[in-house]
Amino acid sequence: MAGQMIDEKKIEEALAGTKNPSKRDIRRILKKARNKKGLSIKEAGALVNLKEPALIQELFNTAGWVKNEIYGERLVFFAPLYLSDYCVNDCAYCNFHARNKELKRKKLSLKEIEGQVKILINMGHKRVLVECGEDPLKNNIDYVVKAIKKIYSVKTDKGNIRRINVNIAATTKEDYSKLRKANVGTYQLFQETYHRPTYEKLHSGPKADYIRQINAPSRALEAGLDDIGLGVLFGLYDWRFEVLSVIAHAQYLDKTYKVGPHTISVPRLQPAPSVDLKSKYLVSDEDFLKLIAVLRIAVPYTGMIISTRETPEMRKKAFRIGISQASAASCPTTGGYGKSDSQPQFNIQDERQLGEVIKGVVEDGFLPSFCTACYRRGRTGEAFMGLSKPGEIHKFCRANGILTFAEYIEDFVHNGARRRYGDLINFYLDKIEDKELQRQTQERLRKIAKGKRDLYF
Ligand code: SAM
Ligand code: SF4
């Protein structure tokens, strides 16, 4: 089954056969990208092989255009929440690896989870990404499900968490079905590397099973989870191969299940305590931006996620050319919000508070959003694809982005920035083309100003 989605030979050939793409070919591919229907593996191959700066700039312009057409100006924010760093695997890049005896392992109790969630809510977050190591005894699915219920139940005077996405190890259909019943949003799982020999070299423990990992998104969809997220840990193998592989994986899911990936994440390898992996495949900043742009136009309907593994400067550039979701004010440490003596899974490069991140994106003209409307309105799986593929999702995103940002301003912004942020809201309100939707958004904004919360389309 795995061979069906990733044909290594075909990918190698696509890379070798497009080594020196002509200007004409590139322009033809970029023109096709503006149809927003994606690209073939070979076309994506020509783009990853691009070297000429002027053409790379054209690639960025096209990617920025496609992003704007499909997702508009809004950027959705979330925070990771680490439940437990117990792990039976030995991944060569991760500080939670089983051999690490220095790490004082921690698994959060429900009470501790409540404490962490309160902190996140009081920072302004509405969306969390639950993460934990793989440990069938300590972190089994029943624990994760209980944790999810707890997270949804926590409320403070600043609100509650409205969407929980999950990034836990590959598991069985039965477990996925339990996750579905727990009402999770997207189930994310990174393939780490699609290159099988490299995958097998860098992992040991149950995760070393390449087939278990690569078929996990299929199992999750078959178990009824609507939205799944793919990802590659860039830096473990040749990024060009990884980009074509993740595109092939997305195309396979789309063809087989009529649902492509809801998101694609682009984590890049970071230093981590106790890790001394010397990789010859580290991805330069320039190539990293290029790969984001290629993924954006090759899988135009997918949300793209960047984390705080990247510096504020890199994130700023990435937002322009394809990223639609970002973590902010993250702590990749179990129980790390507030304070903690636990060690992180890896080092992060953007340590700013949420307020500072918001300030930066507003200055760049983006609309910060904490929207969780789609999955609560049933716009998931095929229904979501039906809206995101033709670029229709955009109109909901704008209105919902405006409403959730207005809530954020009411609850968390008490300085001079309120006026500037209000101007941004008015600017985008004006841009809502559907006059009825615009009127209803205005009406809801008035309700938010009077204290009403959680209004969405
Ligand atoms: N433990 C589960 C698993 O491995 O599938 C859940 C995800 S783990 C908590 C989150 C992700 O962190 C991993 O999939 C991996 O891609 C990433 N990660 C681990 N070590 C990293 C490092 N040194 N730099 C950047 N990302 C890293
Ligand atoms: Fe465990 Fe996940 Fe880290 Fe691997 S990446 S050691 S599975 S926590």
Confidence band, pLDDT 50/70/90 cuts, at residue 274: very high
* Closest-approaching ligand to the CA atom of 167: 1
Q: What is the pLDDT of residues 112-162, one digit of tens each?
A: 999 999 999 999 999 999 999 999 999 999 999 999 999 999 999 999 999
Q: Separation of 427 CA from ligand 2 center, angstroms?
A: 44
Q: Domains of the chain, with CATH numbers?
A: 69-351 (3.20.20.70)
State residue 181 phi and psi, 5-degree precision.
-65, -25
**What is the phi-psi region of residue 192: left when phi exceeds 0, alpha when psi lies from -120 to 50, beta otherwise?**
left
pLDDT at 411 over 80: yes
Atom nearest to 271 CA in ligand 1: 23
Confidence band, pLDDT 50/70/90 cuts, at residue 212: very high
Q: How many residues does the chain have?
A: 457
What is the arithmetic mean of pLDDT over 41-53?
97
Question: Is 26 within 8 Å of 20 (Cβ atoms)?
Answer: no
Q: What is the pLDDT of residues 95-120, one digit of tens each?
A: 999 999 999 999 999 999 999 999 99
Beta carbons within 8 Å of 54's beta carbon, 6+ residues apart: none
Kindly report which listed range (1-10, 29-38, 296-305) carries the lowest average pLDDT score. 1-10
What is the arithmetic mean of pLDDT over 258-287?
96
User: What is the pLDDT at residue 309?
Assistant: 96
State residue 432 phi and psi, 5-degree precision.
-70, 115
**pLDDT above 90 coverage of the chain, percent:** 89
What is the arithmetic mean of pLDDT over 304-312?
97
Kindly report which listed range (35-44, 193-202, 371-380, 397-406) carries the lowest average pLDDT score. 371-380
What is the arithmetic mean of pLDDT over 19-38?
96
What is the C-alpha to C-alpha distance for residues 429 and 433, in angstroms, rounded to an integer? 9
Q: Separation of 197 CA from ligand 1 center, angstroms?
A: 19
What is the C-alpha to C-alpha distance for residues 53 and 56, in angstroms, rounded to an integer? 5
User: What is the pLDDT at residue 356?
Assistant: 97
User: What is the pLDDT at residue 395?
Assistant: 78
What is the C-alpha to C-alpha distance for residues 141 and 174, in angstroms, rounded to an integer? 10
73 lines ligand 1 (CB under 6 A): no
Three-state secondary structure of 322-334: CCCEEECCCCCCC
Q: What is the pLDDT of residues 246-264, one digit of tens each?
A: 999 999 999 999 999 999 9
User: What is the pLDDT at residue 2?
Assistant: 52
**Nearest residue (CA) to ligand 2, atom 2:** 133
Two structure tokens written together for 379: 């716009």
pLDDT at 235 over 90: yes
User: What is the pLDDT at residue 133?
Assistant: 98
Q: Separation of 85 CA from ligand 2 center, angstroms?
A: 8
User: What is the pLDDT at residue 375?
Assistant: 79
What is the C-alpha to C-alpha distance for residues 199 and 220, in angstroms, rounded to an integer? 21
Pocket (CB within 6 angstroms of ligand 2): 87, 89, 91, 94, 96-97, 133-134, 169, 207
pLDDT at 1 over 60: no
What is the arithmetic mean of pLDDT over 234-247?
98
**Nearest residue (CA) to ligand 2, atom 4:** 91
What is the arithmetic mean of pLDDT over 419-441?
95
**pLDDT above 70 coverage of the chain, percent:** 99
User: What is the pLDDT at residue 271?
Assistant: 93
What is the arithmetic mean of pLDDT over 1-7?
70
What is the arithmetic mean of pLDDT over 366-389?
86
pLDDT at 421 over 60: yes
What is the C-alpha to C-alpha distance for residues 36 and 393, in angstroms, rounded to an integer? 13
169 lines ligand 1 (CB under 6 A): yes
Q: Separation of 357 CA from ligand 2 center, angstroms?
A: 28
User: What is the pLDDT at residue 61?
Assistant: 98
Average pLDDT over the chain, rounded to an integer:
95
User: What is the pLDDT at residue 379?
Assistant: 85
Indicate the pTM of the whole model: 0.96
The interaxial angle of helices 381-388 and 393-412, nearest 10 deg, is 100
Look up residue 449 and give its amino acid: A
User: What is the pLDDT at residue 194?
Assistant: 98
